[in-house]
Amino acid sequence: MKSIQVNLGNRSYPIHVQSGLMQQSASILSDYNHGQKWVIISQFNLMELFGFDLLNLLKEADFDADFVTLPVGESAKNITEFSRVVGQMVELNCDRSATIIALGGGVVGDVAGFVASSFMRGIEYYQIPTTLLAMVDSSIGGKTGINIVEGKNLVGAIYQPQGVLIDPDILDSLPREEVIAGLGEVIKYGAIWDRNFLNEIASWVENLDTFPYEDAITKSCEIKAEVVSKDEREGDLRRILNFGHTIGHALESHLGYGRIRHGEAVALGMKCAGFISQKLGLLSKEEQSTLVETINRLPLPELRHINGNHLMPFIKTDKKSEKGGLNFVVLDGLGNATTTTDVTEDLIQESLKVLN
């Protein structure tokens, strides 16, 4: 089993990566079972796929375990669902000793983590991500939150889990298009941090049927753990993890959650950010071409006639904005990301042409 440490002092925790890990989860968590209530927060379809098996494993190991489900989709990330989950935990007689297991993708992890951060003013939780995107990104680093009408993830907290358990075999149970959509986040790690890793990914995506997911997940987790360990609260370095996300989040908000997958939106946002990086003289045309060619090997949705005027309100309210200025993530060469406040609205509008 590969274990990667997120080093945050007394909030440090391990990321375990191994095929078949789900079957070992009760054993791994047993040292932290002190008779408290354990609540799996998931979606009913995921409970049917692996959640009820996990629940039985926990009960057989003398865990006092139960579950709460969320609706499928981004619509679950709202204050109403948050309140409903908290209410159900009260009904299950949860107290300050209760422990949450977030079993699902980014939506489940975001809501479950936010519940953990606020229930009884904070209880422990673990992440068991079930999508590629969650495995390499959202389950690590403690970002939790819900959406409001004005934008994505504008209400939330940075609240670290006690551990992350990743079983790449879970991906075999998911629709292929859902798995492939998560590759946008994998490409991001090579683009912002490791040019050699990006070169490997470029080779791997030439044949998606043989893509080495466990290797890609492990390397992506190593990079994210290193970044988060150096900058937990996104004061500086951690902002580079938002490469492609400013425009990606705007696309999600504008088109409607569910119309485009998060990983797809990030991939398209990276194409725009690469264009902007090249226009700013930070990325050569050859490097931009390498990035775009790698992204274009993914089966991304075709977007026609994207109106920048419709996207700009979402970009301006993006949580990466400070004091009216936007901290935009660009590439100063492949494998080296930085942030700048020099990206104008006109340049963002111009970059959108790469989507049409």
Q: Which residues are catalytic?
A: 121, 143, 185, 224, 234, 238, 242, 245, 249, 262
SS3 (DSSP) at 92: coil
CB-neighbour burial class of residue 307 (10 A; exposed 0-12, middle 13-18, buried 19+): exposed
168 in Cβ contact with 214 (< 8 Å)? yes
In degrees, rounded to 5, the angle at the alpha carbon of residue 141 between the alpha carbons of residues 137 and 146 is: 80
Q: Which amino acid is at 27?
A: S
Which distant-in-sequence residues (6+ apart) come within 8 Å of 150 by Cβ? 317
Give the count of beta carbons closer than 10 Å to the beta carbon of residue 53.
14
Angle between helices 308-316 and 245-255 (to 10 degrees): 110
Residue of 233, 302, 235 whose CA lies nearest to 267? 302
